[in-house]
Amino acid sequence: MPERKDPLRVDTVGVTIKIMTEPFVINTTRGYAPAVNVQVQDTGEERTMFIGAKSLADPLQHMVESNGGRFSGLKLSLKKQSDDRYAGYLVDEVKD
């Protein structure tokens, strides 16, 4: 199982990331949660991104299907719809 990193924080400004691993689960205070390790493109930092949110999982699934069923290697632009803690994600695939 991949090593857990500090969690990725996404806000309304947004961030571009590259997924580095296939999904794995992390035991959290609320039970198991799916996650992937990512690299933040601006800084090169590696972080763990939780991928269970519906607003993230649905668009991510389409990208995974078009990437041969693989998460690794996908590049995404992410931001939150608002400053609300429970706001959905806006997700766009970044092509090289």
In this prediction, residue 24 carries a pLDDT of 97
Count Cα atoms within 13 angstroms, Cβ side, for 81. Answer: 7
Asked if the model's pLDDT at residue 1 lies above 90, the reply is no
Q: With cut-offs at 50, 70 and 90, classify the pLDDT of residue 93.
A: very high
In this prediction, residue 96 carries a pLDDT of 76
Helix (H) or strand (E) holding 89: strand 89-93
pTM: 0.93
Say whether 6 sits in a helix, a strand or coil: coil
In this prediction, residue 32 carries a pLDDT of 96
Give the chain's mean pLDDT.
96
Closest Cα partner for 6 from 32, 34, 45?
45
Beta bridge partners, 47, equal 38
pLDDT (tens digit, 9 = 90+) per residue, 40-83?
999 999 999 999 999 999 999 999 999 999 999 999 999 999 99
Q: With cut-offs at 50, 70 and 90, classify the pLDDT of residue 2.
A: confident
41 touches 32 (CB < 8 A): no
Q: Write down the domain spans for the chain.
A: 15-93
78 touches 91 (CB < 8 A): yes
- Residue 15 token pair: 């961030």
